[in-house]
Amino acid sequence: MMKGMTVHYTYVDSPLGELLLTADDGGLTGLYLPTARYPVTVAPGWTRHDAAFTEARTQLEEYFAGSRREFELRLNARGSAFQRRVWAALVEIEYGETASYGAIAARLGVPEGARAVGLANGQNPISIVVPCHRVIGANGSLTGYGGGLPAKQWLLSHEAAHSGLFA
């Protein structure tokens, strides 16, 4: 988070455990799973402001209930220009679908950039909303996920189970 910027946070219950959400005046800056490889904790100076996350909480509840496919939230993820391009590409992966790192790299015009896409994917601070869980290995395997492979498997299975409801 940037110095001098007010950071708000809240917690949201989910089937994956208690999610930590962060935001600033520009929008949602983070959504962190409790099972993360590098857990994020509330930092000194952050302000709990549950009311600021009403819409995010509602949309997450709808997602976990299986009635929401896309999020409509103001996002303000911080990263390099390349990371932001990768994160924008993640949002384009359809609900219930997956894409490989190589396919995303090719879509971004860097066909040899699968490893760079993987690194950017791993730095995505707004999991679930920016669906990094939808990225898999070229052979269809579930590769690393910052929230842990069981969480990734749960999210993909959840979307697969509910994707037929919207046909």
Could you confirm whether 42 is annotated as catalytic? no
Q: What is the 3-state secondary structure (H, E, C) of the chain?
A: CCCCCCCEEEEECCCCCCEEEEEECCEEEEEECCCCCCCCCCCCCCEECHHHHHHHHHHHHHHHHCCCCCCCCCECCCCCHHHHHHHHHHHCCCCCCCEEHHHHHHHCCCCCCHHHHHHHHHCCCECCCCCHHHEECCCCCCCCCCCCHHHHHHHHHHHHHHHHHHC
Catalytic residue among 132, 135, 136, 156: 132
Spatial separation of the C-alpha atoms in residues 135 and 133, rounded to whole Å: 5
Could you list the active site residues? 132
